[in-house]
Amino acid sequence: MLKYQSQAVAKPYFIAAIGLFVAQILFGLIMGLQYVMGDFLFPEIPFNIARMVHTNLLIVWLLFGFMGASYFLVPEESERELHSPKLALALFWIFLVAGALTIVGYLAVPYATLAEITGNDLLPTMGREFLEQPTITKIGIVIVVLGFIYNIGMTILSGRKTVVSVVLLTGLVGLAVFFLFAFYNPTNLVLDKYFWWWVVHLWVEGVWELILGAILAFVLIKVTGVDREIIEKWLYVIIAMTLITGVIGTGHHYYFIGTPEYWLWVGSVFSALEPIPFFMMTLFAFSMVNRRRKDHPNQAAVLWALGTAVTAFLGAGVWGFMHTLAPVNYYTHGTQLTAAHGHLAFYGAYVLIVLTIISYAMPLLRNQGEAAPAKAQNLEKLSFWLMTISMVVITLLLTGAGIMQIMTQRMAEEPMSFMAVQDSLATFYWLRVIAGLVFLVGLFTYIASFFAKDKAAPMATK
């Protein structure tokens, strides 16, 4: 069923991604409970450890997803086998084992001990948000990513070069280059923060959007049959807007960390335009599906693709815009509103694009033909709605909590203390835990979809 046999290396990457996704959500639920039952699992798993596991697992499983997506789509775009399927498999195991050891390290010993035994004193890079990995793990990530880019790059350069594959490669190279700033950790906190954003912002509001756009374009070409020329033109315009707004849009992180005042203006103006590429992505996805030349049997993949565009626009675009202007951000900076935006943006843009390519590719990788059985697709669609609606509810609850927090802690004449405010938000946090449980049900439904068979099939049960 696969056009190129080497595309099969994508399968373990996708399976690992889904497995780590489950673990990520379990730790999210632990944190959700710790918000309302402060001593839950204390002192065995303090909040900071659970959070680090939650966010690091997210990053790692999305990287697994991006890699799987690349190994799947690049041979097809390049019209040749992958440069080295063996290298791809070797890097898979290295990345999985290194990732697992890092997570075990987080959970098994105190973080300070982990820093000590992994030699953080030699090149201190740990203990910064999202970059908590031991330095040795960071070096491992660089090696894995370089090997991966070499493999993908060799395949693209010696095969047919399409806009999709070249944009994807550009995004991946950007990912590798900006990660190098993770190794720069000056003593001056202001400098540290300034360049920390070169990893974090230039990833998620920069080069990752190129990867997102390329994967979305690939899936839309496949499921709509619309002329590649049209889709590629859209892709160029969208990612052009991404970079034009998003690169200098980094300035919306430079309001209150010690950087000059002009960033209040520069950051506000450019980041206010950041929803544009996401809005265009929504128009793009719907217009391609409306102009489809065929009805692809994998309708679940179409739903994931449309869902990605809409939810990314809501989470990254609308919820980002809500607090991106400096006078607003002065009151919202570092509140639950930030958490609300982070959740829906990451889910909408990056979780959903990985699930989109998995949905499109898995039936082919599993020799099911172009699409999974109807029953499996129905479960997939159900899981999409369960996860997406519960994530929107989580976002709304955190937004409510954030607004309350801003009013009582930041804007009140007699501001309340942080902890008093947190106590007053318990109702929001309890409801968030419930929505989180619904999300977990959705995730299990998603996994169940891989095991569902139609009644006519020989293995069917009653």
Partner 1 sequence: MSEPFTKSMARNIFIGGGLFSFLLFVGLTVDTMERLPERDNRQNITPEVALGKKVWEDNNCVGCHTILGEGAYFAPELGNVYQRLGHSTEAIKVMIKSRPVEGVPGRRSMPQFNLTEEELEGIAQFLKWTSEINTNNWPPNIQG
Positions in 331-360 near partner 1 (CB under 8 A):
331, 333-336, 338-339
- Residue from 26, 107, 143, 237 touching partner 1 (CB under 8 A): that is 237
Interface positions, 415-434, toward partner 1 (CB under 8 A): 415-419, 422
Vertex 150 angle, CA 144 and 152, to 5°: 100
Compare residues 419 and 459 and give the one whose CB is closer to partner 1: 419
- Judged by CB under 8 A, the chain residues 259 through 278 that form the site for partner 1 are 259-261, 263-264, 266
SS3 260: coil
Contact mark string toward partner 1, 372..401, x via CB under 8 A: ------------------------------
Interface map 60-99 toward partner 1 (x if CB under 8 A): ----------------------------------------
Contact between 46 and partner 1 per CB under 8 A: yes
Among 232, 299, 370, 437, binds partner 1 (CB under 8 A): 232
- Please name the helix (run of DSSP H) or strand (run of DSSP E) that holds residue 53, with its range, or none: helix 47-78
* Residues numbered 239-258 forming contacts with partner 1, rule: CB under 8 A: 239-241, 243-244, 247-248, 250-251, 253-258
In whole angstroms, how close is the CB of 402 to partner 1 at the nearest point? Answer: 9
* Sequence-separated (6 or more) residues with CB below 8 Å from residue 287: none
Examine residue 122 and tell whether it contacts partner 1 (CB under 8 A). Answer: no
Measured torsion, CA atoms of residues 33, 39, 41, 45, in degrees rounded to the nearest 10? 100
Cβ 247 to partner 1 shortest distance, Å: 4
In sequence order, which ranges of 158-292 are alpha helices (DSSP H)?
163-179, 189-202, 208-224, 228-249, 262-272, 275-290
The rounded distance, in Å, linking the Cα atoms of 340 and 147 is 35
Q: Does 227 bind partner 1 (CB under 8 A)?
A: no
Asked if 454 is part of the footprint of partner 1 (rule: CB under 8 A), the reply reads no
Residue 119 lies near partner 1 (rule: CB under 8 A): no
404 binds partner 1 (CB under 8 A): no
Cβ distance 59 to 21 under 8 Å?
Answer: no
Closest contact distance (angstroms) between CB of 386 and partner 1 is 26
Nearest approach, Cβ of residue 349 and partner 1 (Å):
19
Torsion sign, CA atoms 206, 208, 209, 210: positive
Nearer to partner 1, 186 or 369 (CB): 186
3-class DSSP assignment, residue 283? helix
Among 24, 120, 356, 377, binds partner 1 (CB under 8 A): 120
Using CB under 8 A, pick the residue from 29, 101, 107, 193 that binds partner 1: 193
Interface with partner 1 in residues 280-339 (CB under 8 A): 330-331, 333-336, 338-339
Beta carbons of 113 and 106 less than 8 angstroms apart = no
State the number of CA atoms in the 13 A half-sphere of 215 facing the CB.
37
Distance CA 442, CA 304 (A): 14
Instruction: Return the beta strands (E) in 112-162 as ranges.
Output: none
Residues 399 and 340 sit within 8 Å (Cβ to Cβ):
yes
